[in-house]
Amino acid sequence: MGKQRSGTPTLEEVAALAGVGRGTVSRVINNADGVKDSTRRAVERAITELGYVPNQAARSLAARRADAVALAMTETDWRQFGEPFFSEIVCAVSDALAGTDIQLLLTLVRTDAERRRFVEYARGGRIDGVLLMSVRGGEPLPDMLAELRLPTVLLGRRSGDECASYVDSDNVGGARDAVDHLLRSGRTHVATITGPLDMYVAQCRLRGYEEAMRRAGHAHGPTWIVEGDFSEESGRRAMTELLGRHPEVDAVFAASDTMAAGALNVLRAAGRRVPEDVAVIGFDDFLLAQHTDPQLTTVRQPVEEIGRAMVRLLLEALEDSSRAWRHVILPTRLIRRDSA
């Protein structure tokens, strides 16, 4: 007479019924790659027939984590990787993980093919979670990772109703504070250079500009708004365009320090004194802001705190996968220097 099966099905019993090894059952349960479709179906049939609940396998998996998380950047423009924001965030996240045993993997995910490869890599259990940065509106990767139930934290958000955990700065408030400062100092012809407007962060900084201008009764038309892409070259291009349209401009709020630096170069070449003729404010407060001529008044993002908060949310999600989305918005601060 065969051995009687216990009341609670085991992983070994599923393996025996499916005619495969215990390791194959674990890979099917955890959606790992390297399993033939026919084998996967046989294991799934055995799980259903036995009524197996894979909580023991889940505990075993938790004990065998990959001890690695990915910092994935979805920016498609190679030039952006030379901007200070990327290196600052990488350093902040790396520092926040320094006290753990978790390895940080840096990867670029820019095309549909790269998305598919990354999702398959994640499906294979090679990483425990993902930190995502430079996410534009319509980016599908957060939703693809959610389908895998892989803990994911975004830097910023795709929209105002983001359905994933994220850490962000108060971009609207920071921009509003910058423009309020310009207006209180007596400037009346205030223009702005935005970031790429398919990114929610750029939309928020534009909204802060518009709110401050409207509240002060100085709202201008769309010709006072020029879109950049956060690069220094786009700041130069936008400032040239603004001077051509509105030679009377007496202040500029640029949505990043690098674009503000480009604007300063154009103003100097045009013989405009900063801040006497045109005041300039940036956003970020990277080291660059202290090395422009004149030194840049800017809105400080708490980059180190952003990195720590992203890592904290991800570690919490790794400990409790049922935890609801978490949204953290950190305050900004206007740093006054010589340019405004």
pLDDT in tens, the chain (340 residues): 344 444 567 778 888 999 988 778 777 776 666 678 888 889 888 888 887 765 544 444 445 578 899 999 887 765 555 667 788 888 999 998 988 888 999 998 988 999 999 999 998 888 999 999 878 888 899 999 988 889 999 999 989 888 889 999 999 999 999 999 999 999 999 999 999 999 999 999 999 999 999 999 988 889 999 999 999 999 999 999 999 999 999 999 999 999 999 999 999 999 999 999 999 999 999 888 999 999 999 999 998 899 999 999 999 888 876 667 889 999 999 999 999 9
Q: CATH topology of 11-63 equal to that of 171-300?
A: no
Is it true that domain 171-300 has CATH number 3.40.50.300?
no
Q: Is the dihedral of CA 332, 336, 338, 340 positive or negative?
A: positive
**288 with 282: CB under 8 angstroms?**
no
Q: Amino acid letter at 227? A: E
Give residue 35's pLDDT. Answer: 78
Backbone angles phi, psi at 230, to 5 degrees: 80, 0
Residue 165 phi, psi dihedral angles, 5° rounding = -70, 140
**Residue 9: helix, strand or coil by DSSP?**
coil
How would you classify the pairing of strands 297-300 and 333-335? Answer: antiparallel
How far, in Å, are 65, 127, 137, 140, 318 from residue 121 at the CA level? Answer: 14, 8, 24, 16, 18
Classified by CATH at the fold level, domain 11-63 comes out as 434 Repressor (Amino-terminal Domain) (1.10.260)
Q: Identify the DSSP state of 281.
A: E
Angle between the N-to-C axes of helices 84-97 and 303-319, in degrees from 0 to 180, rounded to the nearest 10: 50
Distance of CA 49 to the CA centre of its chain: 43
pLDDT at 56: 42
Q: Cβ of 30: how many Cβ atoms within 10 Å?
A: 16
Residue 80: the pLDDT is 56
Q: What is the largest CA-CA distance in the chain?
A: 98
For residue 103, the SS3 value is strand
Q: Where along the chain do its domains lie?
A: 11-63, 68-169+304-331, 171-300
Secondary structure letter of residue 286 according to DSSP: -
Which fold does the domain 68-169+304-331 belong to in CATH? Answer: Rossmann fold (3.40.50)
